[in-house]
Chains A and B, each alone.
Chain A
């Protein structure tokens, strides 16, 4: 990759500057702290589940553009989805950012999340992109401890 913009697409830069759902949630049914000790990315994720559906989801925290925009786009993608759908999208997203370069990835279900396709060229940044998702998984599992990418 020679062009910066292939990794840092406009939508990533936009969500970094103006993260969506960037707030504390009233009465979350689950909340989780996530931490990437390598670079100090730190996220608090809040989720409100009603009848197996993510009624609302938000986050707060500090991090690099990749981790922040990933969290922001994740909240947008998952609001209104069922927990099962969220799990399936996570699996697809994980494949998108970790699949070998020569393996095509089906992005049909991912929508805007496909902008993270450039991440897999940068192994050091995969954890940044997936921090919010790992934190979500732990939140849904009601794990008490702080999630760490290490």
Chain B
């Protein structure tokens, strides 16, 4: 019996949107691909693929240095992408938009450049209990280098941050807060605005890991008032190997370069180097030009669909997915926060997630199984791993029905 019901079609036409994503026409194990691994990486729409191809076919050249026509074209395309991102996250200025390889590099940049400049031995950094390893390890590296300590903001059994514990964690040595905006393994949307306000009352800057937020919701860095915001292109329909670090200009200005090399300098002698202006100070070496252009195209694409529409559609899809999966006996959702986005993490009684992943794969369904680079989260919930279905706006209720049916089949095989 199908329990699928069409979602409101006034938002947008999901069938039509799916046509923009060539990979969704693929078949896996002789079945139509059902791609539910969007939190690992999202698929790319044709306009993004076309923009990158156009660069390589018609504009390929290095940027920011050539006087020739192609270099000017490529520079323009790359800098337009930066402006598109600035608009997308509502930053004040292009100077606050630093191209990096991804969220991980963005966080490492802040930990090393800001951290090593402004933190001292005995200082404290607050992280949450649901951070991705990429927002834990850079701070541990910094801690080893300078003798700073980590303090962990706990979560409850629903996977919600216990904001009421925050005041108790702050002290006169607190120098930084780094926090995930939307959890990759639980889907929790954290009350980041409230946390930022509390940190700012104590003049402590806040970095948000926005990797799982930007594909799903409007992000306004000025409204949030975060000091840094890091995200990856590839989780928001752009290519891999490119991401963004937003930083308030006043902070970026005071920070030393992260890496040295070409493009980040104003003048170099063997005695002294002066650095380029923002954001180029943080962009040493030839960047991922096609990736940046692809990211700009992805921003344009998402804006054309409209984040408000995406949010509304995905909220319905999440509601449907949560209801459908929780009807399955022996299935336990991991992550049941009131505010959630796009992630359905679950365990099946007595069946290892890797076996679930393989059985679903045989049905053409791609999910992620494992610890999702959040081992502390797994330890908290007392599981070695979970199965995670993660959604994007091109997913459908029919795909969720197929997921539920495949999960039921998996349970039968192992009973």
Q: How far is the CB of B69 from chain A (nearest CB, A)?
A: 46
Q: How far is the CB of B109 from chain A (nearest CB, A)?
A: 26
Q: What string of 1s and 0s marks CB contacts (under 8 Å) between B34-52 and chain A?
A: 0000000000000000000
A45-66 residues at the B interface, CB under 8 angstroms: 62-66
Q: Is A40 touching B355 in the complex (CB atoms < 8 A)?
A: no
Report which of A2, A42, A64 forms a contact with B354, defined as CB distance below 8 A. Answer: A64
Known: A8-B413, A40-B370, A63-B352. A1 touches B384 (CB 8 A): no
Q: Is A4 touching B354 in the complex (CB atoms < 8 A)?
A: no
Interface residues on A, range: 20 to 34
**Residues of B within 8 A of A (CB-CB), count:** 18
B327-384 residues at the A interface, CB under 8 angstroms: 351-355, 358-359, 362, 369-371, 378, 384
Q: Is B30 an interface residue (CB 8 A)?
A: yes
Q: Is A128 an interface residue (CB 8 A)?
A: yes
Report which of B30, B355, B362, B378 forms a contact with A64, defined as CB distance below 8 A. Answer: B355
A102 to B351, CA, bound (A): 31
Q: How far is the CB of B83 from chain A (nearest CB, A)?
A: 40
A66 to B353, CA, bound (A): 12
A89 to B378, CA, bound (A): 36
Q: Is A2 touching B29 in the complex (CB atoms < 8 A)?
A: yes
Q: Is B325 an interface residue (CB 8 A)?
A: no
Q: Is A140 an interface residue (CB 8 A)?
A: no
| Shortest Cβ distance from B350 into A: residue | A17
Return chain B residues, CB-CB under 8 Å to A40. Answer: 370-371, 378, 384-385
Q: Is B384 touching A4 in the complex (CB atoms < 8 A)?
A: no
Q: Is B369 touching A39 in the complex (CB atoms < 8 A)?
A: yes
Q: Is B414 touching A1 in the complex (CB atoms < 8 A)?
A: no
Return chain B residues, CB-CB under 8 Å to A77. Answer: none
User: Which A residues lie at the B interface, using CB under 8 A?
Assistant: 1-2, 4, 7-8, 13, 16-17, 38-42, 62-66, 68, 122, 124-125, 128
5 nearest A-B pairs in the assembled complex, by CB-CB distance: A40-B384, A64-B352, A64-B354, A39-B354, A40-B385
Can you give 25 contacting A-B residue pairs, CB < 8 Å? A1-B29, A2-B30, A2-B362, A4-B362, A7-B358, A8-B355, A8-B413, A13-B413, A13-B414, A39-B352, A39-B370, A39-B384, A39-B385, A40-B378, A40-B384, A40-B385, A62-B352, A64-B353, A64-B354, A64-B355, A65-B352, A65-B355, A66-B354, A125-B354, A125-B358
